[in-house]
Amino acid sequence: MRSFNIKMSENNSEGQFLKLREIFNETILRDVIIFVALYLFILSQSWKNIFLLLFPIVSFGFSFFFRIINTNKFRLFLRIEGAQITYNPLGLEKKHANRLNFSSIFQLILLFWIGAESFYHPQLLDAYGIFFNLAFIFFFTFGFYWVLTDIWKYAKITIELEDENLISLLSLRKFKLVAIINLINFCFINLLNLTFTIFIKNNTILSFNLPGTGIESSLPLRLSIVPFITILVSPTITIVLLFIIYKGLHSISLADLNNSLTGIPSEQRNLIIHNFEKINKKLFRDLNNE
């Protein structure tokens, strides 16, 4: 579990915009440079159809989003001496970013491999097509599945003062629901892809031209409708499940917060409530109505 001392500069607390160099760090730049370099290698193969090239962009886009949050999350909070806060409404963003980045890199490797094979071994492309279809969809869906496999361990909001856990917002029922939906989605898409991939072995549904298609009379890569469904469904379901967790962890009321902070010095208590009003719109409305 990741805990961090609450810190925030005076300028940022007043709502001023962050400079670009304050948002990006070396880790983010490293991820971007590696991804762009590998992507340029693939583009150099002169792909005629870019549909499959969208998959790693989607995975990396999510990875980039989580990386930005992870490196700038501490800016949400004011300094509260003697307190520790764990604010992970989406789980550990660093883990999410690493997992999705791994998924995107592996997809790029597969794309570069199948593109190169279409040039150097076009006569074997028909045999490679089945393995590529299965592996490509697997690693795309696995990245989103992996993000939610252990999110119940880390998705929480807690405040600790003098080794006492004051606030812990967990909903085990929702995490179980998320885990079940996540597993069903991952298994269903990959089983569907396996079924359609075997089916199109002798029944082409869609033809996809690779960079070397036509060399030595090689045929296009045969695809089913599953990739077109997967690129929309898998990320969408992940967004919905993360939203359910986020809303569940921000459902605390002002009354519950006040009860949890009974006995805390008033200055410290006011700072904690001030932090929560910035991340909890419902709590903010309750404060304005008082």
Residue 81: predicted pLDDT: 61
Cβ atoms of residues 136 and 52 within 8 Å: yes
Where does the pLDDT of residue 282 fall: very low under 50, low under 70, confident under 90, or very high at 90 and above?
low
The residue type found at 48 is K
For 187-207, what is the mean pLDDT?
A: 81
Q: What span, in angstroms and rounded, lies between the C-alpha atoms of 275 and 280?
A: 9
Give the global pTM.
0.84
Q: What span, in angstroms and rounded, lies between the C-alpha atoms of 115 and 42?
A: 8
Domain boundary assignment for the chain = 4-251
List pLDDT tens digits, range 22-47. 677 788 999 999 999 999 999 999 89
How many residues does the structure list for the chain? 290
Where does the pLDDT of residue 77 fall: very low under 50, low under 70, confident under 90, or very high at 90 and above?
low
Where does the pLDDT of residue 210 fall: very low under 50, low under 70, confident under 90, or very high at 90 and above?
confident
Where does the pLDDT of residue 274 fall: very low under 50, low under 70, confident under 90, or very high at 90 and above?
confident
Q: What span, in angstroms and rounded, lies between the C-alpha atoms of 31 and 101?
A: 8
Q: What span, in angstroms and rounded, lies between the C-alpha atoms of 101 and 158?
A: 28
Q: Is the per-residue pLDDT at 201 higher than 70?
A: no
How far are the Cα atoms of 95, 125, 128, 256, 275 from residue 262, in angstroms, in the given order?
35, 69, 65, 10, 17
How far are the Cα atoms of 14, 30, 142, 263 from residue 110, in angstroms, in the given order?
47, 21, 15, 58
In a 13 Å sphere around the CA of 167, the CA atoms on its Cβ side amount to: 30
- Higher per-residue confidence, 138 vs 220: 138
List pLDDT tens digits, range 5-19. 333 333 444 445 556
